[in-house]
């Protein structure tokens, strides 16, 4: 029991002292003004929807710029008539859109990926493109 008490004191006392030292340094440092970093998203400005295609729900996107400066956007989409719970898992496809600038307007080009249905390795819908 004697050794346990001594061990406890050897561990707790230095910890307590180091906490007090840190606390005093913190109060000294509080006199200095530090600029708090902000998130990059704090500087974003909403400029509108990239894609709003009638008859489809569009989800997520993965943009890439070509050599001519056109912006190619790959997004998951599914028919608006299909309930969300099953649509994104089984009826989602990857659509390719293109625009001259990132703000759009984007025009549909083609479907580049789509589930093949039962019996195939890629039976379910494609979702969350990443280029």
How many domains in the chain? 1
Mean pLDDT of the chain: 76
Asked if residue 34 belongs to a domain, the reply is no
Q: Which residue has the higher pLDDT, 2 or 78?
A: 78
Residue 5: predicted pLDDT: 45
Asked if residue 69 belongs to a domain, the reply is yes
Confidence at 26, pLDDT banded by 50, 70, 90: low
In this prediction, residues 91-115 reach a mean pLDDT of 90
In this prediction, residues 114-118 reach a mean pLDDT of 74
* Whole-prediction pTM: 0.62
Q: Check pLDDT > 70 for residue 73.
A: yes
Q: Which residue has the higher pLDDT, 64 or 22?
A: 64
Asked if residue 97 belongs to a domain, the reply is yes
Q: Which of 29-33, 50-54, 70-74 has the lowest mean pLDDT?
A: 29-33
Asked if residue 89 belongs to a domain, the reply is yes
Residue 95 structural domain? 50-114
Neighbours of 13 (CB within 10 A): 10
Token reading at 2 = 């004697």
Q: Check pLDDT > 90 for residue 110.
A: yes
In this prediction, residues 69-87 reach a mean pLDDT of 88
Q: Which residue has the higher pLDDT, 31 or 18?
A: 31
Asked if residue 91 belongs to a domain, the reply is yes
Asked if residue 43 belongs to a domain, the reply is no
Contact at 8 Å (CB) between 94 and 74? yes
Asked if residue 41 belongs to a domain, the reply is no
Cα–Cα distance, 111 to 12 (Å, whole number): 65
Distances (CA, A) of 93 to 10, 79, 81: 64, 10, 15
Asked if residue 33 belongs to a domain, the reply is no
Cα–Cα distance, 59 to 106 (Å, whole number): 15
In this prediction, residues 58-75 reach a mean pLDDT of 93
């Amino acid at each position: 029991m004697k050794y346990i008490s001594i061990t406890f004191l050897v561990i707790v006392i230095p910890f307590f002292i180091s906490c007090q030292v840190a606390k005093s340094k913190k109060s000294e440092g509080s006199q200095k003004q530090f600029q708090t970093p902000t998130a990059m998203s704090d500087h974003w400005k909403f400029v509108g929807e990239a894609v709003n295609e009638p008859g489809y729900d569009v989800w997520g996107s993965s943009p890439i710029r070509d050599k001519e400066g056109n912006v190619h956007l790959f997004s998951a989409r599914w028919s608006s008539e299909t309930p969300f719970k099953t649509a994104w898992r089984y009826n989602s496809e990857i659509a390719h859109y293109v625009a001259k600038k990132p703000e759009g307007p984007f025009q549909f080009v083609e479907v580049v990926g789509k589930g093949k249905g039962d019996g195939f390795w890629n039976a379910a819908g494609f979702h969350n493109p990443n280029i």
